[in-house]
Structure 1
């Protein structure tokens, strides 16, 4: 399609042609309205406002151009109105069509041309500015790579990105876009992942690292094994989700749509009654024009599109308008501890020997041998340390029996090994003289997870595992409070002492410890009964019941999880905790803009109605103000595309390394 064709089929062709015809009409009238008179048959109804009189219609050439201007601008409006009527919908186009045709019938050609021209201009401006509100989605589409360099038959080949095959090796050079989701198999490099996670600082990648389509290499050379191509990439899923979310209706928008369904016919009835009572057709047509609910109808969707687009640009995916509205009401946030408040990479910190006949290495060996068959996340740091110190287990234990909420029981070389908490010892009749419980309590008070080790019927020691609090966890809690969240609650399966140590370090308001997955659900339900709107942040596995029960389920670090991107109410693509208060703050700003837009739309209609009945507001003035209100509403929503004050970047004071006091459990 060439440039001329693009213009002809573009948004501005109709208002430009109509505007030129209006200018020609005024020019002819200025030069002398009687340049040419045209007598038209059949007879014309000149005075439809009172009693009709039959006469031959006499037009100036200027009138002809004015009617042509109204026809050019009004044709599309009438077509849309007819199509809507066929679908049994009475919309704005019908109001404008009736008003314009009525103005022509009574011989008010300027008003007909002005109303249709202004409506066409407003539509073009609306389309242009609405495109800007969808700019975030356009930016996401723009980052999709066009080509890829793959290794085929031992040779480098450049192919369209859509033709990369699963399992192929893709080469990512400095400055190139990553064309697929994949795993680095060789090389090192720095990848700018801002298009996916919203974080502008490049991330170092090496063997085993994960990369995403649409990200950009800022240095180095990577060989990537393609694990996601085409529509299966994270970028494609994000684009799909944003498209769906921007089109999804919020509850307020659904109400406005229902309201408009009654409001528009009511305006037509009002205009008809006013015309019949006053005998003034011009008054009735003017009421049709100024009663158009255009600004009201667009006030909600334009804000939702802008808000969701802004969030997506910052690496925050919100499922739709309904969830955006709900997020603005969040008064309590429940967070899982492991991997959310903490790094999720526990390490063995202590091995306390309680049997004088044993060495530290022997206590560690028994603990590692017992954990060798365990799937618990705390088993890995014990096994890793034992391997590093040369006392790692060989093979697997004879049997491993998990005891929920207490620990495990293992058969190691024919001997029973317990590793867990004091209730586990009590259940199996192992006597503790108090030293193990005291050591465990002391370690827990330091924010570590202690595990008592007993062989047969004798306690031999205590091992402790700890994780670090995320450096941005305290700042996240503080920002949540500033965003209007009344209560931040920690839900953890760990002991009370450990949970309190983390809570104190992060500023958590309420702590619920020693919870099973179903217990977390109960806590969320209780908070809802107290009147809170709850957001639950978790890993989506053992927190699944609580996430499903919460008003808003939040997934962190969702870039690598297709399930999280598709199912979470809010998906934080990166692993930045500060994105959570940013998401809530943006939701509140969006709802505030929605309310402002509704107020602007309603106040405009009320003032115009008052102006009509008071005198002075004509059809053309009414349409001008109406279109101005539509643009004001759109411009107000576009403010959401700007970043709010404050950054998700971590304060300099919090980028320092953690202290010993920040060591917490997994």
Structure 2
């Protein structure tokens, strides 16, 4: 790409991309390319001017070389990025806002007074109609107040006041609609499917292929704990499918041959082979948008309280207006009160504050699925962490493979990887990655694989039963034995490492030793959460007592529990909630799903199991455990902002009412100050909480 550097300081440059304007697609393509450069830490592309601002680390020459290598036609951008970028939405609302302001003041300057009267009268019909419609339903809401204020102004021939009220109301509605659509769009995009590879069934073989290669009528296998990647019809298998993201059903639905399944639903038990009917995920995106817009999850208790309070205050405002007129017989004073109310600001500012906080969270690679979860985090006093993949690194590493049956370590690792590659867990990924690094390729050599949550995997290789999993699963549940003469070798396995046990025909075949190092930031995160107001921090793990005690001591949690099952985590959380605690759960695996669902707020790691991400209320980046601290600070700041907005709205508008009743302010001035203050608070509520 040919470009001009317009401005530059160390680590930052602003460029012009060689044309005065970009299309939305070109701008999104360039932004996608920049975001995927390892040395770029921030980028923004301006489609209207054909420019870009880039912050980077490392060599300036490398940055310039990367920009020179860029060509629009050579960059492969996922269709969902282009279809759902939100760039067009932002441009559309910016233009609407500018046009509204220009038209309002242009009309005042250039339109003759008689035409302005006609225009204002016609426009007022919409607001008056809404007020009458509300009254006809027996409700005295904000629309009644707006209709009364505008109607009285028109009847008094105070066209300027009526026009100003409608203009400011229109601006407020536009800002709220823009913020809402943008926040919902950002949330929906972050929830939309991002499945890179799927299991294609071809000639009785399971082949892992890029999802982009799948076509209609292909057969795709989906294992337990995974998200269904495409809409389709069940060809074989039986499963319990969680459809909550699309239908709101709290109970999984049984699916079997000839049933229809939808992209984005999650298999909780069993497995399905699906005949693909729809390969595009735009329908899934639209379903998510609809679900979010209709869901009460977006509303926090404070939002709902503000909306109800706003409607309840309307009769008092109308009553105050009538009382002032009865006492003073002064229409101007009465109208000055009518022009001011608390409800408009309360209804507008609270949702904008919450939606803006959700948008801000996305800047930190955090997906928040609803405003009420931010409120719950602000109130939380207890947090429960899973260990593996959460407090420890998301990418454990295979250190050694110890053979107990005479097979080579590579052969044992190849066999283990063949079994483990079907299931999403950090330990499984470690085995699969180790096999890949050693170039241990394999064809599918086993029959159907059964995954036992929090225990392990069972299958048949030929006519031999093969299992892999925890010590409890292999030696207690499956009653496997050590080969004769290997007792000493077994006792000398390194204690500081986690172990996966592979057994064939009830005899231990090998032990895979895995290093599961603690995240460097784990201790700092625990300390930061304590300073932020979390009173009790707990670690729960299925690992053994020795490992759990060591990790707990290093990170400084208040309590820890070892060798727990998924239901144990959920029971502990339910017990804490019954004692009046507000509980956050942080996890990443299939076995964390019950606890994530039971908690007041479930937080999943983005690199974890798909079912955990689906069930969780909030998702944080895989390398961003500090996101939990960020969420706490963001939530606390949001509650402070809402409280501050509430005090300002009540105080300022009370002052306007008093000045209006005293005859100090004219109705037009009261309306102007009231609506301007509402817009000012709304705009301020759209600003970032964390600077």
Q: TM-score w.r.t. structure 2 length?
A: 0.59
Q: Contact (CA 8 Å) 1:521, 1:546: kept in 2 or not? A: yes
Range with greater deviation from structure 2 (413-422 or 507-516):
413-422
Distance 2:674 2:681 in 1: 11
Matching of residue 301 in structure 1 with residue 332 in structure 2: no
Matched residue, 2:308:
258
Q: What secondary structure is seen at the aligned counterpart in 2 of 1:465?
A: strand
2:655 equivalent to 1:607: yes
Query: 1: distance between equivalents of 2:213 and 2:149?
Result: 59
Cα-to-partner distance string for 1:297-330 (whole Å, 9 max, x where unaligned): 2121111221222233543322222223223223
> Displacement of 1:275 after TM fit?
1.8
One of 512, 516, 531 as aligned partner of 2:565: 516
CA contact (8 A) 2:542 2:563 kept: yes
Deviation, 1:492, is: 0.8
Deviation at 1:361, TM superposition (A): 7.0
The number of residue pairs the alignment matches comes to 512
- Indicate whether 1:581 and 2:629 are aligned: yes
Change over 3 Å in CA distance of 1:272–1:422 after alignment to 2: closer
SS at structure 2 position matched to 1:98: helix
- 8 Å CA contact 1:537, 1:554 repeated in 2: yes
For structure 1, the residue ranges without an aligned partner over 5 or more in a row are: 26-63, 144-163, 169-180, 183-224, 646-666
Q: Distance in 2 between matches of 1:8 and 1:352?
A: 68
**The 10-residue stretch of structure 1 (127-136 or 328-337) with the greater mean CA deviation from structure 2:** 127-136
Q: Per the alignment, do residues 274 and 18 of structure 1 end up closer, same or farther by CA in structure 2, a change over 3 Å counting?
A: farther
Once residues 76 and 483 of structure 1 are traced to their aligned partners in structure 2, the CA distance between those partners, rounded to angstroms, is 48
Q: Could you tell me how far apart the structure 1 residues matched to 2:474 and 2:632 are?
A: 42
Residue 510 of structure 1, CA deviation: 2.6
- Describe the shift of the 1:324–1:87 C-alpha distance in structure 2 as closer, same or farther (beyond 3 A): farther
Of stretches 7-16 and 406-415 in structure 1, the one that deviates more from structure 2 is 406-415
Q: In the aligned structure 1, how far is the partner of 2:456 from the partner of 2:116?
A: 87
Aligned partners of 2:450, 2:325: CA distance in 1, in Å? Answer: 88
- The equivalences for 1:626-645 within 5 A come to 626-640=674-688, 644-645=690-691
State the secondary structure of the residue aligned to 2:603: strand
The separation in 2 between residues aligned to 1:621 and 1:17, in whole angstroms, is: 21
Separation in 1, partners of 2:588, 2:600: 16
SS in 2 for 1:555: strand
Instruction: Tell me which residue corresponds to 1:323.
Output: 373
Quote the offset at 1:495 in angstroms: 0.7
| Partners of 1:346 and 1:466 within 8 A in 2 | yes
Equivalent residue, structure 1, for 2:159? 113
Is the alpha carbon distance of 1:612 and 1:449 closer, same or farther for their aligned partners in structure 2, counting shifts above 3 Å?
same
1:188-203 correspondence to structure 2 within 5 Å = none
Give the TM-score, by structure 1 length.
0.61
CA distance in structure 1 between the aligned counterparts of 2:557 and 2:653, rounded to whole angstroms? 48
C-alpha spacing 1:350/1:513, structure 2 compared with 1 (3 Å):
same
Please state if 1:547 is matched with 2:596. yes
Residues 231 and 584 (structure 1 numbering): CA distance in 2 closer, same or farther, change over 3 Å?
farther
Tell me which residue corresponds to 1:528.
577
In the alignment, what sits opposite 2:339? Answer: 289
Partner SS state of residue 301, structure 1 = helix
Task: Indicate how the Cα distance of structure 1 residues 226 and 482 shifts in structure 2: closer, same or farther if over 3 A, else same.
Answer: farther
Matched, 1:590 2:638: yes
Question: Which of residues 104, 126, 130 is equivalent to 1:80?
Answer: 130
Q: Which residue of 2 aligns with 1:206?
A: none
**Is the contact between residue 597 and residue 616 of structure 2 (CA under 8 Å) also seen in structure 1?**
no
Task: Report the CA distance between 1:117 and its aligned residue.
Answer: 2.4
> Shift of the alpha carbon at 1:533?
1.6
Q: Does 1:617 align with 2:668?
A: no
How do residues 81-480 of structure 1 correspond to structure 2 at under 5 angstroms? 81-102=131-152, 109=157, 112-130=158-176, 133-134=179-180, 135=182, 166-167=214-215, 229-231=280-282, 248-291=298-341, 293-349=343-399, 443-444=494-495, 446-449=496-499, 464-480=513-529
Distance 1:311 1:614 in 2: 45
Please state how far the C-alpha of 1:590 moved relative to its aligned partner: 2.4
The superposition leaves residues 327-386 of structure 1 with CA deviations (integer Å, 9 ceiling, x where unpaired) of: 322332222222223345544445789xxxx99978999999999989997689789989
Q: Deviations over 1:65-96 (max 9, x none)?
A: 88657636644432332333344443334334
Q: 293-302 or 238-247, which moves further after superposition? A: 238-247
Decide whether aligned partners of structure 1 residues 500 and 620 sit closer, same or farther in structure 2, where only a CA change above 3 A counts: same
Alpha-carbon distance in 2 for matches of 1:381, 1:306: 38
Q: How far, CA to CA, are the matches of 2:329 and 2:595 in structure 1?
A: 65
- Structure with the bigger RCO (C-alpha within 8 Å, sep 6+) is 1
- Residue 605 of structure 1 deviates from its aligned partner by 2.1
Alignment partner of 1:19 is 2:108: yes
Give 3-state SS (helix, strand or coil) of 1:535's partner.
strand
Q: Secondary structure at the match of 2:543?
A: coil
Q: Distance in 2 between matches of 1:137 and 1:456?
A: 53
CA contact (8 A) 1:416 1:455 kept: yes
In the alignment, is the contact (CA less than 8 A) between 2:381 and 2:582 conserved in 1?
Answer: yes
Instruction: Answer yes or no: is the 8 Å Cα contact 1:249–1:320 preserved in 2.
Output: yes
**8 A Cα contact 1:245 1:321, kept in partner:** no
**3-state SS of the aligned residue for 2:546?**
helix
Please tell me the root mean square deviation across aligned C-alpha atoms, in Å.
5.5
Query: How far has the Cα of 1:229 moved from its partner?
Result: 1.9
Instruction: Check whether the contact 2:458–2:465 (CA below 8 A) recurs between aligned residues.
Output: no
Following superposition, the deviation at residue 254 of structure 1 comes to 1.7
Q: Distance in 2 between matches of 1:298 and 1:574?
A: 35
Please state how far the C-alpha of 1:436 moved relative to its aligned partner.
Answer: 6.7
2:34 alignment partner in structure 1: none
CA distance in 2, matches of 1:126, 1:400: 56
1:263-292 Cα distance to aligned partner (Å, 9 max, x none): 112221222233223333333222211235
- Shift in Å at residue 626 of structure 1? 0.8
Greater CA deviation, 330-339 or 87-96?
87-96
Is 1:501 equivalent to 2:590 in the alignment? no
> Are the structure 2 counterparts of residues 350 and 16 from structure 1 closer, same or farther at C-alpha, using a change threshold of 3 Å?
closer
